[in-house]
Amino acid sequence: MKKAAALIFGYNEYGIEIAKNVKYKYENVTVFSLSDTGFSIENKDDYDIEKFDVSDDWEHLKSEYEMQDSIIFCALRDEAENIFLTISLRSAFQESMIIALANNNEDANKLRMAGASKVIPIVETTAGIITDMLKKPIITEVLHGILYENSNLEIEQITVHNVDYFGKKFPADIEWHKEYNVIILLVIHEDMSSEFIYSSKTKHHHIKKGDVFVAVGYENDLKKFKKLVGDER
């Protein structure tokens, strides 16, 4: 009997943290690796690990899984491979939900054109930060909402260029949802240190040029917010 599953292509920190999050919704979780050797992790009992090739024809997936009810994650580190993988999977599975991770907004646009249902932009240098975020309960809840409950929600990293817009306000003093209809989860500083929005450090950190907000919201609201802070000039 075919089964619904979470199919995660990318045996890396992103793929593993996604697996840990989706295992509560999907009884069947498989992480696919491009190589036999790979990422060293603990607690593998919660999901399977299989080898794959980006040129696969995916017949084995069709025979084993109920693809219309499954969710696919494309989380390969190589941009070209991730785009090719997305195109291949979309061609094979027209009705499946495909979530792709992008290194930046330019890659995100390419992945949307390749057929991704949703794209989550990340920045390569913040890999550890994103991994840490995925481990937090609040991020698990937000990610669940993005993937399963409200397909219009997106998560983006937005860089502050127009710092004068905020004056001398602290991030924790701003009612983001009321003023901008977005939720700010995390602030990443120029030295790549990061803090959650309501941490004690962030409460005493003025917003500076170059700060990066990890924001959740609807596409139009995120675009408006990006224009206000100068990230979309």
Bridge partners of 48?
A: 30
**Using H for helix, E for strand and C for coil, what is the string for 175-189?**
CHHHHHCEEEEEEEC
Q: Are 163 and 70 in a shared domain?
A: no
Instruction: Please tell me the distance from the alpha carbon of residue 16 to that of residue 204, in angstroms, as a whole number.
Output: 34
**141 falls within a domain:** no
- CB-based contacts of 210, cutoff 8 Å, min separation 6: 159, 160, 189, 190
Q: Are 164 and 210 in a shared domain?
A: yes
**26 falls within a domain:** yes
Last residue of one domain, picked from the residues 111, 126, 141: 126
Instruction: Please tell me the distance from the alpha carbon of residue 214 to that of residue 158, in angstroms, as a whole number.
Output: 6
| CA neighbor of 188 nearest in space, from 169, 175, 203, 207 | 207
DSSP three-state, residue 70: coil
Q: Indicate the helix (H) or strand (E) that contains 156.
A: strand 153-159
Q: Are 27 and 117 in a shared domain?
A: yes
Last residue of one domain, picked from the residues 60, 91, 126: 126
- Contact (Cβ atoms closer than 8 angstroms) between residue 46 and residue 74: no
Domain total of the chain: 2
Q: Give the CATH number of the domain where residue 162 resides.
A: 3.30.70.1450
Instruction: Please tell me the distance from the alpha carbon of residue 98 to that of residue 112, in angstroms, as a whole number.
Output: 10
pTM given for the model? 0.61
Instruction: Please tell me the distance from the alpha carbon of residue 225 to that of residue 222, in angstroms, as a whole number.
Output: 5
> Could you state, in chain order, the average pLDDT of each consecutive group of 10 residues for the chain (233 residues)?
89 85 84 71 68 86 90 91 93 91 82 89 52 55 59 77 80 80 79 65 74 84 87 61
For residue 197, the enclosing domain spans 153-228
Q: Are 159 and 97 in a shared domain?
A: no
